[in-house]
Chain A
Amino acid sequence: MALPFPLVRLQLVNKSFTQQGVKEKILNNISLTIEPKTIVGIIGRSGAGKSTLLRCLNGLEKPDEGHIFFGTDDLCLLDEESLRNQRKKIGVVFQNYNLLQSKSVFDNIALPLKLAGFSTDIQQERVAYLASLVGLDHKLSSYPHQLSGGQCQRVAIARALAIETKLLLCDEFTSALDSQTTLEILDLLKRLRHDLGLTVVMVTHDMNVMQQIADYVYVLDHGSVVEHGPTLQILTGAHHPVTQSLLREFLKDELPDFIANKLHPAPQGDDDIMLKLTFKNQYATKPLIAQLVQQWHLPLNIIAGNLHHSGTHTFGHLMVCLKYDPNIIAAISTFLQNNAVQVEIMGYLQWQS
């Protein structure tokens, strides 16, 4: 069923918790939309309110104020019974899988089906289908303690998709996995989005995950949305200090201390100059560095760098060091800037010694 408007829409959602007499505002006038068949990331530091926000999306938390529209229904106005029905269309994947240790993979995946009262035949059929979707066909009679973390997470995903799920909520679920497994699971999600038309909301504190999988990102800080936009825009042009600090760990674009300490703000003697070249939204890999070296005969030292590739875009930075000559520097700055590369002078130092 195609929905003509956003799948989920939050309007001015507020939520406070009172702990030991102190009232703390966890969600502050949050408004956001989630379009169908997209993967939306919600990123923020611990305590930003991400998990609370996620729990509001399936009615496990009720906001003090505001509206949460899932399709045409306002989850805040529904009674417990109707809320339970809505939850059957929303799947949740948890950080620690939450599988039944005493039941087989088959029974774990079939749990929502049992809840809905489907016959054993339908259960067999459906579980077989779901298991093949997530690549666990041959593990149906295994038990969770016999599976790896990645396999457990796949079981959890299969379970979450059991009954015609429209929306999948993921709560930091890659935190417990190693990076290789994380990549595999994220690939799985992308495939499911493509094959099933699934909409995913992913809560995380890891920018890597955002870059891998999200189409759109909301940045949360102390209960408010401080920045949002398409993923590439956030990765390359973040404005808000919180976003930038989250990006810092991901982009790794700061000089190591032992180099930074050697920099002088003004040229001394026959210092070299350190430049930071920032690449954003490169649509093609242009051999810019090669051109620089050829055209100006520059012995260019590449000190540090980090380039990320996201679909067709390349972005990142390079720290380069070269002999200081004001004219040449001006010329190459212009050249680079004409090619959409940002040039920043980091300082001057004796590098070639």
Chain B
Amino acid sequence: MAILNLLAYSFYETIFMVSLSLFIGVMVGGSLGILLYYHSTPGLKPRPLLYKALGFMVNSLRSIPYIILTVLLIPLTRFITGSSIGTLSAIVPLSLAAILLIARATEDTLRTVPKGLIEMGLSLGADPLFIIKKIILPEALPTLIAELTNITIILVGFSAMAGTVGGGGLGDLAIRYGYQRYDTVLMAFIVLILLLIVQAIQAVGKYLTNYFRYQ
């Protein structure tokens, strides 16, 4: 049935969008978060001005609702992907949202690691890089993974809005083929699929969190 094909393709679009933005989010947002932590923690390399500037940027961008962010970013999207429509274009605002969410979560999580551990690292004669890599990050890892699990689920939610820029995905399908055609059955079915996706993400997240709790 054609509808099954559409369903399969939309599923693939959602997974693709979320995975790629998550990856970009972890790479860029994770680094940003570590940087923010690095420059605001006594014992490491506190640089108050740099921290204030970066922090302000991250916080203000975060406060823009996702759907408005998508529209505001159209010029940038066009510049990067050559178009403002399509799955690849939808990844631009989705990645930015991921970067901002992950940066904030990373910084906050790193901060939950007891400060005494930094002092301990310094007393061993460790440099700040070693302290972050071998002391702070391993301790923060379980919580970071838990946070990432939540963020991934949020990104799945955001991806549902990709339809507004022709981005496809399950959300788009649910609205165009389900809601707008009064096909409640299809809508319900897609919701079920999304539910299963979220459950799967949570299960994987929980497993990984526990795996890294005691390394």
Q: How far is the CA of A54 from the CA of B141 in the complex (A)?
A: 32
Q: Least Cβ distance of B79 to chain A in Å?
A: 42
Q: Is the CB of B117 within 8 A of A98?
A: yes
Q: How far is the CA of A107 from the CA of B124 in the complex (A)?
A: 14
Which of A98-133 touch B at CB < 8 Å? 98, 100-104, 107, 111-112, 114-115
Q: Which of B55-63, B127-135, B167-175 contacts A (4 or more CB under 8 A)?
A: B127-135
Q: How far is the CA of A96 from the CA of B114 in the complex (A)?
A: 11
Say yes or no: is A58 at the interface (Cβ < 8 Å to chain B): yes
**Interface majority SS (helix, strand, loop, mixed), chain B:** helix
Say yes or no: is A250 at the interface (Cβ < 8 Å to chain B): no
Q: Is the CB of A115 within 8 A of B138?
A: no
Residues on A with beta carbons closer than 8 Å to the beta carbon of B215: 102-104, 107
Interface size class of B (residues with CB under 8 A): 20 to 34
Q: Is the CB of B124 within 8 A of A112?
A: yes
Interface size class of A (residues with CB under 8 A): 20 to 34
Residues on A with beta carbons closer than 8 Å to the beta carbon of B65: none
Say yes or no: is A60 at the interface (Cβ < 8 Å to chain B): yes
Q: Which of A40-48, A84-92, A187-195 contacts B (4 or more CB under 8 A)?
A: A84-92
The 8 Å CB contact of B134, one of A85, A94, A114, is: A114
Say yes or no: is A324 at the interface (Cβ < 8 Å to chain B): no
Residues on B with beta carbons closer than 8 Å to the beta carbon of A98: 114, 116-117, 119-120
Q: Is the CB of A102 within 8 A of B141?
A: yes
Q: How far is the CA of A353 from the CA of B125 in the complex (A)?
A: 68
Say yes or no: is B123 at the interface (Cβ < 8 Å to chain A): yes
Which of A125-148 touch B at CB < 8 Å? 143
The 8 Å CB contact of A100, one of B126, B130, B135, is: B135
Closest 6 CB pairs of A and B: A87-B125, A98-B120, A92-B123, A84-B125, A88-B125, A98-B116
A-B pairs with beta carbons under 8 Å apart, 12 shown: A58-B123, A84-B125, A84-B126, A86-B125, A87-B122, A87-B123, A88-B125, A92-B120, A98-B114, A104-B214, A104-B215, A112-B124
